[in-house]
A and B are shown apart, each in its own frame.
Chain A
Amino acid sequence: MENRIDRALKGAGGIQLMTHVVAGYPSLEVNAELIRLMARCGVRLMEIQIPFTDPLADGPTIMRANQAALDVGITPGHCFELCSALSSELPDVGFMFMTYANIPFAMGMERFLHQAAASGASGVILPDLPWDETDGDYAGAARQHGLHPVMVISPDTVGPRLDAVLRRASGLLYTTLKVGITGAGSSIGQAGVDYVRNLKNKAGLPIAAGFGISRPEHVRMLSGLADVAVVGSHIINLLDREGMSGVEDFLLACGRQG
């Protein structure tokens, strides 16, 4: 069966959005409602974050959401159940489990990957589990379960390290971008444009780019350059401030930009 991430990206016209929910924040019910809404708005790539007490790579918004989810007792088991229900309901959406190393480590990597695949996920994102630690090289094992190991890099990932990541990555390569502020607002600049172009050529993989996207114009900046724009914490901010309709308006506006 074709991986849903591949299917979402194959022959996709324009830029795709990849959105993010922290499972259990504000509740599993709202997560489900939000995921359905995002799918209706055309989002076909979604991260489900399994909350962790010490989310090293996340900013304050997602960090607080992690803590709030843990405070109401969310476990990895709840996250798998959420994905299970939504992945069968929404066959066009590719779900990725995002979490931190200690969650699969506590569970056992094999069991983690098995459960992720069994719940209908299409990929995993484990940003603090590096390929150069013996128990961090999970890419092959993930693929055996039909999951894309979505690797996260930055423009400072170069040379042999980039090569090593590319040998392992499949499905989608996730890079952060640095964004300068110019007189006309934010811009990824010529250096950013060159970086993404070169990376795409070198990787031969669809590129997902994220830099704290919070406005539809940000998506337009990436259009024609990256394959996927990552909208992470802004979805949580919108949900907190403006509810479901705020998220919907934003996603529809982003869609018009792509």
Chain B
Amino acid sequence: MSRISDMLPRHFGPYGGRYVPEMLVPALEELEQGYLKYKNDPGFVAELADLYQNYCGRPTPLYFAENLTRELGGCKIYLKLEGLAHTGAHKINNALGQGLLAKRLGKTKVIAETGAGQHGLASATVAARFGMGCTIFMGEVDVRRQYPNVYAMKLLGAEVVPVTDGTRTLKDAVNATLKYWIQNLRDTHYILGSALGPFPYPVMVRDFQSVIGREVRAQILEREGRLPDHLVACVGGGSNSIGLFHPFLEERGIRFHGAEAGGRGLNPGDNAARFGSTPKVGIVQGYKSYFLQDDSGQLQNTHSVSAGLDYAGVGPELAWLYDQKMVEFAAITDVQALDAFRRLTRLEGIIPALESSHAVARAMELAPTLPRGEIMVVNISGRGDKDIFITAMELDRENWISFLESEVRHGK
């Protein structure tokens, strides 16, 4: 594994950087210095490791998906079950790391944006655990489609602010959180949930999420005595994928696969496939990367059945890996994702999040074409309970509606 250097990378090739109004710079510099100070601090590292193990349930299992492997008839498939981490997704890895850092930096309040609600849930959980105030910004559209998580966040003591600007989804939640932060820098830490945004977030979030790849490395070596040939993950902003990929990037012969949201199809506004037809570089929300945008540089609307992938930008390190042809991206449609969701559930008794179902669908495309001797690891970044209001409506509509109606009647 590469040695951790003292300097944090601010750019990945031409991407990343810190494109923010001057008033945000002092807070980002404080964060950069704080992270540099604590990332290798034995006390900090030990406390985080203890929380990962005893609070989150890490290491999460690496499970050999025997039935899926047999069904697809190609390479051997392992599933990294991040959905078994506390709060049900990989998001807790980063939220705990940043929460602990915020505590060390003397902050009394945390704020966060959320799309699917998993990062908001993780942040609210960490705030409860550390006794910090917590406000979560969430697009109004996402509040509607992910209400179970909203309820859980409130239960944990967080204030949930529905964002009504712009497209009322994840990108607008990021804007709202940054704006709130600009006005409350002194006592507040912004727990950014993906490996993007202004430096030092992309590198810091990647580092906290790299626990996924480090565990996979140790687990697969123990099970198979060798490294995998294929790593597959879904890519919204990219935190679960870069967390899985990063500890393997210097290895030769591993293929890295990213599954983006192909949504309803190829038309602009119907998907969130940044690496689709003509990827376009931009500078938005504090960093340079690929963004879905029009010719004038306006961000385009996005769509995905999964809120966590419904975002117009992508982390700068993944953008650089794309340019270098290190990561291969493919778009998975809503229909494919739902099909993969159903099949994995039936075959393995594992209900994946809709985001992770995109990775499963990509694995289902790839595996049959690959030799039996090869090994693939698919990151199941989250579990699917949070999506029941979407999946039930898609897959069991009539019964679900009559259940909801009876609940409402009962409630009254």
B contact patch SS:
mixed
Contact A101 B166 (CB under 8 A): no
CB distance from B65 to the nearest CB of A (A): 40
Contact A76 B296 (CB under 8 A): yes
**B182 CB contacts on chain A under 8 angstroms:** 57
Interface centre among B281, B288, B298 (most CB of A within 10 A): B298
CA distance A52 to B297 in the complex (A): 8
**A103 CB contacts on chain B under 8 angstroms:** 296-297
B251 contacts chain A at the CB level, 8 A cutoff: no
Query: Which of B21, B26, B165, B291 touches A128 (beta carbons < 8 Å)?
Result: B21
**A53 CB contacts on chain B under 8 angstroms:** 166, 298-299
Contact A106 B296 (CB under 8 A): yes
Which B-chain residue is minimally distant from A104 (CB atoms)? B297
Q: Using C-beta atoms within 8 Å of the partner chain, give the interface range for chain B.
A: 20 to 34
Query: Which of A70, A102, A157 touches B25 (beta carbons < 8 Å)?
Result: A157
CB distance from A54 to the nearest CB of B (A): 6
Contact B165 A67 (CB under 8 A): yes
Q: Using C-beta atoms within 8 Å of the partner chain, give the interface range for chain A.
A: 35 or more
Interface centre among B18, B20, B172 (most CB of A within 10 A): B20
Q: Beyond the given A54-B285, A59-B179, A133-B288, could you list 5 further A-B residue pairs with CB under 8 A, ordered by the A residue number?
A: A64-B165, A128-B286, A129-B19, A133-B18, A153-B22
Contact B23 A136 (CB under 8 A): no
Query: Which of B17, B23, B165, B298 touches A133 (beta carbons < 8 Å)?
Result: B17
B105 contacts chain A at the CB level, 8 A cutoff: no
Query: Which of A63, A130, A153, A165 touches B165 (beta carbons < 8 Å)?
Result: A63
Q: Interface 1/0s, chain A 141-184, versus B by CB < 8 A?
A: 00000000001111011000100010000000000100000000
CA distance A153 to B25 in the complex (A): 10
Contact B282 A56 (CB under 8 A): no
Which B-chain residue is minimally distant from A133 (CB atoms)? B17
Would you give 28 A-B contacts (Cβ < 8 Å), ordered by A? A52-B298, A54-B166, A54-B171, A54-B284, A56-B20, A56-B21, A56-B175, A56-B179, A56-B286, A57-B179, A101-B19, A102-B284, A105-B281, A106-B282, A106-B296, A106-B297, A107-B296, A107-B297, A128-B283, A129-B19, A130-B22, A130-B25, A133-B18, A133-B288, A153-B23, A154-B22, A157-B25, A176-B23
Q: Interface 1/0s, chain B 21-39, versus A by CB < 8 A?
A: 1110110000000000000
B185-215, CB < 8 A from A: 185
CB distance from A68 to the nearest CB of B (A): 11
Contact A156 B21 (CB under 8 A): no
B222 contacts chain A at the CB level, 8 A cutoff: no
A127 contacts chain B at the CB level, 8 A cutoff: yes
B293 contacts chain A at the CB level, 8 A cutoff: yes
Take A53-B299, A128-B283 as given contacts and tell me if A102 and B22 are in contact as well, using a CB distance cutoff of 8 Å: no
A60 contacts chain B at the CB level, 8 A cutoff: yes
Contact B165 A102 (CB under 8 A): no
CB distance from A93 to the nearest CB of B (A): 26
CA distance A154 to B298 in the complex (A): 27
Q: Interface 1/0s, chain A 74-115, versus B by CB < 8 A?
A: 011000000000000000000000001111011100000000
Take A56-B178, A156-B26 as given contacts and tell me if A133 and B19 are in contact as well, using a CB distance cutoff of 8 Å: yes
B295 contacts chain A at the CB level, 8 A cutoff: yes
Which B-chain residue is minimally distant from A63 (CB atoms)? B165
Q: Please name the 6 residue pairs, one residue from A and one from B, whose CB atoms are nearest each other, closest first.
A: A106-B297, A154-B23, A102-B297, A101-B283, A53-B299, A127-B21
CA distance A249 to B285 in the complex (A): 37
A119-137, CB < 8 A from B: 127-130, 132-133, 136
Contact B282 A105 (CB under 8 A): yes
B283-326, CB < 8 A from A: 283-286, 288, 291, 293, 295-299
Contact A157 B179 (CB under 8 A): no
Query: Which of A59, A106, A157, A161 touches B295 (beta carbons < 8 Å)?
Result: A106
Contact B293 A102 (CB under 8 A): yes
Contact B19 A130 (CB under 8 A): yes
CA distance A64 to B166 in the complex (A): 8
CA distance A60 to B176 in the complex (A): 9
CA distance A57 to B293 in the complex (A): 20
A32-85, CB < 8 A from B: 52-57, 59-60, 63-64, 67, 70, 75-76
CA distance A152 to B284 in the complex (A): 18
Query: Which of B21, B295, B298 touches A57 (beta carbons < 8 Å)?
Result: B21
CB distance from A249 to the nearest CB of B (A): 30
**B26 CB contacts on chain A under 8 angstroms:** 156-157
**B22 CB contacts on chain A under 8 angstroms:** 127, 130, 151-154, 157, 161, 165
CA distance A156 to B25 in the complex (A): 9
Q: Interface 1/0s, chain A 206-243, versus B by CB < 8 A?
A: 00000000000000000000000000000000000000
**A100 CB contacts on chain B under 8 angstroms:** 284
**A60 CB contacts on chain B under 8 angstroms:** 165
**A64 CB contacts on chain B under 8 angstroms:** 165
Which A-chain residue is minimally distant from B20 (CB atoms)? A128
**A107 CB contacts on chain B under 8 angstroms:** 296-297
